[in-house]
Amino acid sequence: MFTYQIKKEKFTTYVLQHASQNSYIEIVPERGAIISSYFHQNQQIFYMDQETLVDESTNIRGGNPILFPISSYLENETYYYNDAPYQLKQHGFVRQLIAKVTAIEANQHYAAITLDFTHTEATLERFPFQFKLTMKYTLNENGLSIQATVNNLDDKTMPFYLGYHPYFYVADKQALELQVPSSHYNNMVSNSMVDGKFQLNQTESNAIFDQLENNQCHILDHARDLKITLTSDDVFQYIVLWALQEKPFVCVEPWMAPVNGMNVNKGVQYLEAGRQHTSTIHIAATTID
């Protein structure tokens, strides 16, 4: 039986769980609706730096930040709409907003929570569009589904590209194997990929893959006999790998668009007035075959 509970800590935290399986997720609406913790059958799936979670002055390092209305970064943090310049910082602003919980349910098959973000005066200064972003997180026996529905509430076509920044916990990077369905990549930090292998023994490693052959990435944690499969809809045309040498995580990030996407016009979704766009990723954890 799946259940949910609400914890009153510094931030109100919603917990969706399957107690008999020792599986649960925790969601913090006040911190960008981030999934701050994910355990599957007592195995830690997401990494979290707790100090960054409670410090509202900094970006959270851990969990699964939502990247919207852009998933990457812009040259000079600037894009143009109708010849007017607008500034957006890396990964957009939703991860810094407060979400409103609109529904929560639990039964014998799953537990789910739905949260909404909407435009504000501050977001309109950086992104001149009225929108609603609805996130639905569903935990079931097969893993975690993350669904995003973007609603264009404006009277003009809205450009956007969504992404996610999941931090996967890795205790022993020497025992880690990453499988990305592409052999075509660009190193965003020198020597991040060497002979087709992502380097985890340098200060920082960062690479972006395109020309994906399918929609599944695999993280094989041989130290824990754990296989994590990240499945994303076809609209996510880019996979980014990022790691820091001294931290026990690796990020495998599905993006809709590449670096500077708004300016190079690649991967941008153009949503007509009054329309909506829905996309999903799924994270499943199993034992290695």
- Separation of alpha carbons 123 and 192, rounded Å: 34
| pLDDT tens string 137-194 | 999 999 999 999 999 999 999 999 999 999 999 989 999 999 999 999 999 999 999 9
Identify the pLDDT of residue 288.
92
Identify the pLDDT of residue 186.
96
**What would the DSSP string read from start to end of 58-82?**
S---BS--EEBS-SS--GGGEEEET
Q: Which residues contact 280 (CB under 8 A, 6 or more apart)?
A: 145, 146, 147, 148, 232, 233
| pLDDT tens string 188-240 | 999 999 999 999 999 999 999 999 999 999 999 999 999 999 999 999 999 99
- Separation of alpha carbons 140 and 286, rounded Å: 13
φ/ψ of 64, rounded to 5, equals -140, 75
20: pLDDT strictly greater than 90: no
Task: Report which residue type is found at 284.
Answer: A
Structure tokens belonging to residue 224: 């824990």
**CA 33, 34, 35: angle at the middle one, nearest 5?**
120
**What would the DSSP string read from start to end of 92-103?**
BSGGGSPPEEEE
What is the value of pTM for the model shown? 0.97
| pLDDT tens string 59-101 | 999 999 999 999 999 999 999 999 999 999 999 999 999 999 9
Identify the pLDDT of residue 161.
98
Identify the pLDDT of residue 66.
98
Task: Report which residue type is found at 285.
Answer: A
Identify the pLDDT of residue 6.
97
Q: Which residues contact 82 (CB under 8 A, 6 or more apart)?
A: none
42: pLDDT strictly greater than 90: yes
Structure tokens belonging to residue 97: 């907003």
Closest C-alpha among 85, 75, 51, 45 to residue 63: 45
Q: Are 273 and 210 in contact (CB under 8 A)?
A: no
CATH of the domain at 193: 2.70.98.10
Dihedral sign of CA atoms 95, 100, 103, 108 in order: positive
Q: Are 164 and 67 in contact (CB under 8 A)?
A: yes
Burial of 240 (0-12, 13-18, 19+ CB in 10 A): buried
Identify the pLDDT of residue 171.
87
Average pLDDT over residues 26-53: 97
Based on the structure, what is the number of domains in the chain? 1
Residues spanned by the domain of 153: 3-287
Identify the pLDDT of residue 150.
98
Burial of 263 (0-12, 13-18, 19+ CB in 10 A): middle
Identify the pLDDT of residue 216.
98
Please, which pLDDT band fits residue 7 given cuts at 50, 70 and 90?
Answer: very high
